Structure 1
Amino acid sequence: MAGPLAGVKVVEMNAIGPAPFATMLLADMGAEVIRIDRQQSGFLNGDDSVIGRGRRSLVIDPRKPGATDVLLRLIDGADVLIEGFRPGVMERLGLGPEVCIARNPRLVYGRMTGWGQSGPLAQTAGHDLNYLAITGALHAMGHADRPPTPPLHLVGDMGGGAMFLAFGVVCALLEARRSGQGQVVDAAICDGAALLSTMYYEFKQGGQWTDRGENIFDGGAPFYGCYTCADGGFISIGSIEPQFYQQLLTLCQIDDPLFKNQWDRSLWPAQREKLQALFATRTRDQWCALLEGSDVCFAPVLDFSEAPAYAHSQARGAFMDSDGVSHPAPAPRLSRTPAQAGSKASNGQHSEEILRELGLDAAAIAALRETGAIA
């Protein structure tokens, strides 16, 4: 069954970071994607990578004679172009949005950067941690007695970057179907990560957010955090609501008066110390047997090797296996036009096939090989 984006044609200029992940999301939902690869694989998302699933691959060097003309012909028939280079790179290749949209007025031109297409830092190198640092979010992560803890690049690259790029592209596609006009989607990781922090800015302005490590969601609250068990495993507790907190106390047989006032922040350090001592008396599996499935808001903390085998994930088919590699399945779930993970393509696997679809004959393809435009 075709996915919801069936019929949408995407050209992806392969890069590192969140742009390939955003394109994977579109491909999972049924978009037809042609990935423009370099002759050597890129860092982390090169030849035959899981994130590269659902594409066909054309290896072509846009700096070589004849290559730009081929790419423009390919873009002429596309609905979406996605690139993740530093601002100005595509323009220097003759593939900037002004050129491409002039030729293909309905084109949605998705641009993925860390700092954005404009601003004093636009031409500066950076990584997820740096983009997150200027949003206020990084400062709020970690313990009070040490510098902020670098999170996995889920909040910046993948959440603030890839997800917002995919969202912006789909929004622009819907608008283009109504207006017949394409546009540029300027997706900056720092913008998206800042927007993800909206609730925390509201907390701050309402006096509900203080210093790092002293709040509900940053590990300050004893009823919202992770604890070490007797076997060295970890569990997570999220008993925020009073009724869930009361169930935690009941199931764990906690009758210490210290825990009667859940919201007295002055008691939190002592409460956390006692909870840590309690949770250290049993193994992770023993705590699962007692608390899992209750309204305590409980779950074991699983590592990447354990997560795919977890009963809930198994029941939902949350992970899949490709060539012996276990990885997350497409999401979210659509009832009538479900997403489907496509196969992985080696760099250049479909080069000749794609060039012939563009109308190039054997002589033209041979000429491109002669110039080094294609391998």
Structure 2
Amino acid sequence: MTAVLSGLRILEFAAIGPVPWCGMVLADLGASVVRVERPGSAAERDTLGAVRRGRTLVELDLKSAEGREAALQLVERADILLEGLRPGVMERLGLGPQECMARNPRLVYGRMTGWGQTGPLAQQAGHDINYIALSGALHAIGTADKPVPPLNLVGDFGGGGAFLAIGVLAAAWQARACGRGQVVDAAMVDGSAVLMAMIFSRMLMGQWTDRRASNALDGGVPWYDTYRTRDGRFVAVGALEPQFYDELVQRLGLAGQLPDRQEAAHWPEIRRRFEEAFGSRTREEWAAHFAASDACVTPVLSLAEAMAHPHMQARGVFMPWDAGRVPAAAPVFDGARPPPTPPSRRCSMAEVLQNWPSVPLPARGPTAS
């Protein structure tokens, strides 16, 4: 099967967090990704591991005239550019949208930042936790006592890299039709807010309280939470619908013993009984007990355990990498997962230009709107 993004050329400028993750996703799906790195940046590269897979790597000193000109030669051949520097840095290097799109009018120029290219905070430093704090996402995640950062999944990757990928692919689709590229301003604060669209909507409809651990999906209800087992591990319970809840209660041996779950005043007692029940067996005993049921109970697996789970193995969710395994490409297309992405390989500038031959510029079409 031909890779779904085969033939798409992406020029990625080295950055941290969401940009290399976005480059990995696009490379996994078959795009040809050339990653420009600073000479001697080995320590920076080592932190990325498998996230840096699938690229052709070239080292360029972008502060030199020669390095900038080499980068612009790649710009001329690319469909999409990805960069994740603070606003204004690429312009100071002579590689901003104006310079790049003068060389390649059909270029989609993807920009990834935390706060966005505009706004009062655009030049301020920050990290995932700061961006999701401002969008409201962090406030909604955690215990009743305090917010808990959900790793860097919500800002960096969900609200950042994923929206960068969506944006540049959408703009590339439009560029195919009109022959003109555009700048995509992807901000983690924007994307993490969009991820919360359902929650904001439910709050407007009076179906969500603006208080952690008091709603159906934030651990507020006893039937959507995690519980410690006898061996100190955990199971996850997601029995939201009545039929799933009924099966949960029946399999816990609590049928007819619990108060009405429709009354919030009864939730502490239901939770206490669940805690007591789950604490009576080990995690693996509960996993076996609920294996063939629709009670929506699963073991909470560690990272190492997840790779060995039969379902994950059957679907090929993880692929071999070095001495272990890492997540493979997703999603699945026509019943087939994209083939394992190979490690990146370093190339000379001459080899990169040979692999990316010049593309005639299209006839001037209407400006993208």
Equivalent of 1:353, from 343, 351, 354? 351
Alpha-carbon distance in structure 1 between the residues aligned to 2:343 and 2:150 = 28
TM-score by length of 1: 0.91
Instruction: Give the superposition deviation at 1:271.
Output: 1.0
2:361 match: none
Q: Is the 8 A contact 1:128 1:157 kept in 2?
A: yes
Alpha-carbon distance in structure 2 between the residues aligned to 1:5 and 1:337 = 15
1:332 match: 331
2:67 match: 67
The equivalences for 1:34-45 within 5 A come to 34-41=34-41, 45=45
Instruction: Give the superposition deviation at 1:325.
Output: 2.8
Describe the shift of the 1:336–1:302 C-alpha distance in structure 2 as closer, same or farther (beyond 3 A): closer
Instruction: Give the superposition deviation at 1:143.
Output: 1.2
Instruction: Give the superposition deviation at 1:350.
Output: 4.4
2:284 match: 285
Describe the shift of the 1:154–1:221 C-alpha distance in structure 2 as closer, same or farther (beyond 3 A): same
RMSD: 1.8
Report Cα offsets for 1:293-348 as digits up to 9, x if no partner.
311111110010100100110110111111213111100001178523422226x4
Residue aligned with 2:82, SS: strand
Q: Percent identity?
A: 46
Q: Is the 8 A contact 1:46 1:52 kept in 2?
A: no
Describe the shift of the 1:187–1:338 C-alpha distance in structure 2 as closer, same or farther (beyond 3 A): same
Alpha-carbon distance in structure 1 between the residues aligned to 2:50 and 2:311 = 23
Q: Is the 8 A contact 2:112 2:185 kept in 1?
A: yes
Describe the shift of the 1:9–1:46 C-alpha distance in structure 2 as closer, same or farther (beyond 3 A): farther
Instruction: Give the superposition deviation at 1:292.
Output: 1.9
Q: Does 1:148 align with 2:128?
A: no
TM-score by length of 2: 0.92
Describe the shift of the 1:273–1:41 C-alpha distance in structure 2 as closer, same or farther (beyond 3 A): farther
1:363 match: none
Describe the shift of the 1:151–1:42 C-alpha distance in structure 2 as closer, same or farther (beyond 3 A): farther
Q: Is the 8 A contact 2:37 2:59 kept in 1?
A: yes
Q: Is the 8 A contact 1:129 1:156 kept in 2?
A: yes
2:204 match: 205
Describe the shift of the 1:48–1:156 C-alpha distance in structure 2 as closer, same or farther (beyond 3 A): closer
Alpha-carbon distance in structure 1 between the residues aligned to 2:52 and 2:281 = 42
Instruction: Give the superposition deviation at 1:256.
Output: 4.7
The equivalences for 1:135-174 within 5 A come to 135-144=135-144, 146-174=145-173
Alpha-carbon distance in structure 2 between the residues aligned to 1:156 and 1:43 = 24
Report Cα offsets for 1:98-135 as digits up to 9, x if no partner.
11112111101110000000000000000000000011
Query: Can you give the 5+ residue segments of structure 1 that lack an aligned partner in the other structure?
Result: 360-375
The equivalences for 1:83-122 within 5 A come to 83-122=83-122
Instruction: Give the superposition deviation at 1:28.
Output: 0.7
1:365 match: none
Residue aligned with 1:121, SS: coil
Q: Which runs of 4+ in 1 moved over 6 A?
A: none
1:364 match: none
2:53 match: 53
Instruction: Give the superposition deviation at 1:38.
Output: 1.2
Alpha-carbon distance in structure 1 between the residues aligned to 2:315 and 2:355 = 39
Alpha-carbon distance in structure 2 between the residues aligned to 1:74 and 1:352 = 11
Residue type of the alignment partner of 1:333: V
Q: Is the 8 A contact 1:223 1:239 kept in 2?
A: yes
Residue type of the alignment partner of 1:258: L
Residue type of the alignment partner of 2:217: F
Structure of greater relative contact order (alpha carbons < 8 Å, 6+ residues apart): 1
Residue aligned with 1:68, SS: helix
1:273 match: 272
Q: Is the 8 A contact 1:49 1:344 kept in 2?
A: no
1:130 match: 130
Describe the shift of the 1:350–1:56 C-alpha distance in structure 2 as closer, same or farther (beyond 3 A): farther
1:176 match: 175
1:372 match: none
Instruction: Give the superposition deviation at 1:244.
Output: 0.5
Residue aligned with 1:134, SS: helix
2:16 match: 16
Alpha-carbon distance in structure 1 between the residues aligned to 2:111 and 2:30 = 21
Residue aligned with 2:51, SS: coil
Instruction: Give the superposition deviation at 1:5.
Output: 0.7
Instruction: Give the superposition deviation at 1:356.
Output: 6.1
Alpha-carbon distance in structure 1 between the residues aligned to 2:305 and 2:334 = 28
Q: Is the 8 A contact 1:234 1:300 kept in 2?
A: yes
Residue aligned with 1:305, SS: helix
2:253 match: 253
Q: Is the 8 A contact 2:329 2:341 kept in 1?
A: no
Alpha-carbon distance in structure 2 between the residues aligned to 1:306 and 1:30 = 29
Once structures 1 and 2 are overlaid, which stretch shifts more, 335-344 or 180-189?
335-344
Q: Does 1:294 align with 2:293?
A: yes
Describe the shift of the 1:58–1:300 C-alpha distance in structure 2 as closer, same or farther (beyond 3 A): same
